Structure 1
Amino acid sequence: MSYSVKETFTSGTSSGSAVAPPAPAALAAKVRTVAPSMTRSMQRVAEAVAGDPAGCAALTVTGLAERTGTSEATVVRTARLLGYPGYRDLRLALAAAAAQQEAGQAPSVTADIAVDDPVADVIVKLARDEQQALADTAAGIDPVQLEAAVAAMATARRIDVYGIGASNLVGQDLVQKLLRIGSIAHAPVDPHLAVTNAVQLRAGDVAIAITHSGRTVDVIEPLRVAFDHGATTIAITGRPDGPISQYADHVLTTSTGRESELRPAAMSSRTGQLLVVDCLFIGVAQRTYERAAPALSASYEALAHRHSPRPTRG
């Protein structure tokens, strides 16, 4: 079993081999993902390094602590929570990120949607936010975790997907894709049914939980039951340090998205979740191609036949 993301966020490195720190281009995305779960003092450090990488790269650990009104220990803890072994590594990443900004490679920051925005502005703002959510999620997905999750799903006897509200809709999207390539998959809407389904899972089965907050009890409970019964468990969440990770063999992190009054968390997190489930589906389809291709063709044929004109009686 590969290392769990929850180990990365508590210690900065996995208990086995060292975990590669995020690339400079992914630093801002990492800050946006992790900052909501930080203490306020750590958030000040994270916001400073994301907002002014060049200025912070020039500071010692003492200098950054003074600039943010925190302590040296807080700066070091923030660096580790962002995935760097220590402040020196974070400082090098900041210098590289500053160089990328100078080259015009930094992502643009958009304004929130206002009540009186014209439709044309809403289109532009939403499109930019969706693009940023995709970029942030792509930068934050751990390929090792994704590969391990795909491997488990490709050989699974059965796959259960748990989610509530908007997350359940994302789960339904994944399930209908998996069914079309011959996988046995379920996404129960009722949380009680999710738990009773989870009781039936065993080693060789897979359970996937989708929760932006990482704290949704109705999603955590069936995943815990599946975990206790030996199934391989996967969490798709915007809060990899949340309670859901305690019962996840593999954690896939999504972007937290830009929330606002008119764009709540359920809406801002959906884009990243859909990217992750699409990555899972494509990975499974690749690994099971000999089975998946004929199954997909059969489903296309069945749908085409359903929509073809029916013969009429003379």
Structure 2
Amino acid sequence: MKETFTGGGGPRGAAAPSGPLTPTAAPAPAPAALTAKVRALAPTMTRSMQRVAETVAADPAGCAALTVTGLAARTGTSEATVVRTARVLGYPGYRDLRLALAALAAQQAAGRAPAVTADIAVDDPIADVVAKLAQEEQQCLADTAAALDPVQLDAAVAALVAARRVDAYGIAASGLVGQDLVQKLLRIGLIAHAHTDPHLAVTNAVQLRPGDVAIAITHSGRTIDVIEPLRTAFDQGATTVAITGHPEAEVAQYADLVLTTSTARESELRPAAMSSRTSQLLVVDCLFVGVAQRTYATAAPALSASYQALAHRHDPRPGH
């Protein structure tokens, strides 16, 4: 994946930058983002590093009280493994991870970072299903908000504002999210297309050029039908954006900007597509609102006109 850049739509400058492009170091994740970070990166870690990561996410208060030697002993690993895990999670060293764990423990104690709820059981009453799903959705949104890099998000908004054309690629549930983004952008006057057919996605991506934006939406980051058109758009010089729960996955190799979503727990009655859709829609809404803010002079009347054009279809009176 490329470096993070401010002031525009990526290192190739496909979107008109407002100032010089300068690489920025990624900040350490906020305490509330730690759980989401562990979920996203655990598949890429060694087993010993996974033990460390899962332990600190499950018991931040207990681990915050441990020295690096103590955590290594608790997880049956080495001090070097603990330090490597901290760095993979985005912290300069174990001391920084320990401070984040203490902050996360304080948030949980104050009720601002609730613990993960139990899985839905086959015999759960419907009231319990509602409560568990609501808690999971809230946690998913909170994790995504914490994991989103505001620098990357701001650059993506800037690229969309300057775009000649926007293409969104997604399959299945992610395709629905792409359609949601496109219909929002269309209503404020942008030229946008959503592609769920992989062949049409690639043939349209070939037509892109610098000044266009291509957005790939894939929770796993490994969906070939989404990666191929993004790679094509990348090769054509368009600014490319990936919305994914796995920023280390292949899709990021062809993305100028990566917007990370929550990687929520998957269970038999709650497949990944449910939680990923929730977090992806939050990112889409952030992009839309950001674009609408920056283009308010044209976006507001365009949105009003679209409402007026459809008003008669919402009139309940007969004949209207």
TM above 0.5, one fold?
Answer: yes
Q: CA deviation at 1:172?
A: 0.5
Counterpart-to-counterpart distance in 1, 2:166 and 2:307: 22
**Which residue of structure 1 lines up, in the alignment, with residue 210 of structure 2?**
203
**Which residue of structure 1 lines up, in the alignment, with residue 277 of structure 2?**
270
Counterpart-to-counterpart distance in 2, 1:45 and 1:110: 21
Counterpart-to-counterpart distance in 2, 1:264 and 1:311: 44
**Which residue of structure 2 lines up, in the alignment, with residue 250 of structure 1?**
257
Count, aligned residues: 302
Q: 2:219 aligns with which of 206, 212, 215?
A: 212
**Which residue of structure 1 lines up, in the alignment, with residue 140 of structure 2?**
133
Counterpart-to-counterpart distance in 1, 2:186 and 2:147: 28
> Is 2:32–2:143's contact at 8 Å kept on the other side of the alignment?
no
Q: Which residue identity is paired with 1:161? A: A
**Which residue of structure 2 lines up, in the alignment, with residue 291 of structure 1?**
298
Q: Deviations over 1:188-212 (max 9, x none)?
A: 1210000000000000000000000
Q: Which residue identity is paired with 2:194? A: A
Q: CA deviation at 1:16?
A: 4.2
**Which residue of structure 1 lines up, in the alignment, with residue 149 of structure 2?**
142
Residue 233, structure 1, aligned to residue 240, structure 2: yes
Residue 41, structure 1, aligned to residue 48, structure 2: yes
Segment drifting more, 29-38 vs 186-195: 29-38
Q: Which residue identity is paired with 1:290? A: A
Counterpart-to-counterpart distance in 1, 2:302 and 2:110: 47
Q: Which residue identity is paired with 1:197? A: N
Question: How many percent of aligned residue pairs carry the same amino acid?
Answer: 79
Q: Deviations over 1:198-244 (max 9, x none)?
A: 00000000000000000000000000000011000000000000000
Segment drifting more, 46-55 vs 279-288: 46-55
CA RMSD of aligned residues (A): 1.9
Q: CA deviation at 1:38?
A: 2.5
Q: 1:122 aligns with which of 126, 129, 144?
A: 129
TM-score (normalizing by structure 1): 0.91
Residue 22, structure 1, aligned to residue 29, structure 2: yes
> Is 1:2–1:144's contact at 8 Å kept on the other side of the alignment?
no
**Which residue of structure 1 lines up, in the alignment, with residue 84 of structure 2?**
77
Q: 2:187 aligns with which of 180, 186, 193?
A: 180
> Is 2:87–2:93's contact at 8 Å kept on the other side of the alignment?
yes
Q: Which residue identity is paired with 1:157? A: R
Residue 161, structure 1, aligned to residue 133, structure 2: no
Q: Deviations over 1:158-212 (max 9, x none)?
A: 0000001100001001111111111111111210000000000000000000000
Residue 190, structure 1, aligned to residue 190, structure 2: no
Structure 1 residues 103, 119: closer, same or farther in 2, change over 3 A? Answer: closer
Residue 3, structure 1, aligned to residue 4, structure 2: yes
Structure 1 residues 311, 248: closer, same or farther in 2, change over 3 A? Answer: same
Residue 63, structure 1, aligned to residue 70, structure 2: yes
**Which residue of structure 1 lines up, in the alignment, with residue 268 of structure 2?**
261
The DSSP-based 3-state class of the residue aligned with 1:187 is strand
Q: CA deviation at 1:75?
A: 1.3
Q: Deviations over 1:63-114 (max 9, x none)?
A: 2222112222221221111110111211222222233344444313211111
Q: Unaligned 5+ residue runs, structure 1? A: 5-14
Residue 300, structure 1, aligned to residue 307, structure 2: yes
The DSSP-based 3-state class of the residue aligned with 2:118 is coil
Q: Which residue identity is paired with 1:97? A: L
Counterpart-to-counterpart distance in 2, 1:3 and 1:32: 22
TM-score (normalizing by structure 2): 0.89
